[in-house]
Amino acid sequence: MIIFLAKLYGARSMTQSYLTWKGRRKIIDSRKKVPLAEFAKAGRELQEAGWLREAVEFFKRAEDWDALRAIRSESVASGDFFLYNLVSQNLGEPLDPRALKDLAANAEERGLGAFALSARAILEPPKEGATP
């Protein structure tokens, strides 16, 4: 049965998929020195599957700053404030006011009011004594 499944899905995906919790833990918890390219490969697999938050950790470990910046750009376009903030923290870069403005507008267009509010709260902090 296992041989059949390996042929059906491809032996590589059965043994090295990073789309499973076990696959991700295997590379993260490895006692051996894992090549940066392997972390980048895992990040790409996760990114292609749409698991961007998970991909961030692997791209950071791979020191693939361009991939992280691409995810950050994607988060602005999709209006995902929390992903934008996560990537910015991992890059060690401050939140860009222009990007936050665009992110808030994109979030609003997609009906992500909480993300828009979070971005706008950083751009325009509430005044003291103001009620939320």
Q: pTM (2 decimals)? A: 0.78
Asked if residue 22 belongs to a domain, the reply is no
Average pLDDT over residues 86-114: 97
pLDDT given for residue 86 in this prediction: 98
Asked if residue 54 belongs to a domain, the reply is yes
Residue 5 and residue 30 in contact, taking contact as beta carbons nearer than 8 Å: no
Asked whether the predicted pLDDT for residue 112 surpasses 70, the reply is yes
Alpha-carbon distances of 31 from 23, 40, 41, 132, rounded to whole Å: 15, 18, 19, 49
Asked if residue 82 belongs to a domain, the reply is yes
Asked if residue 24 belongs to a domain, the reply is no
Asked if residue 5 belongs to a domain, the reply is no
Asked if residue 80 belongs to a domain, the reply is yes
Asked if residue 86 belongs to a domain, the reply is yes
Calculate the CA dihedral of residues 74, 77, 80, 83 and round it to 10 degrees: 20
Asked if residue 18 belongs to a domain, the reply is no
pLDDT given for residue 80 in this prediction: 97
DSSP 34: P
* Domain with 106 in it: 36-123
Domain count along the chain: 1
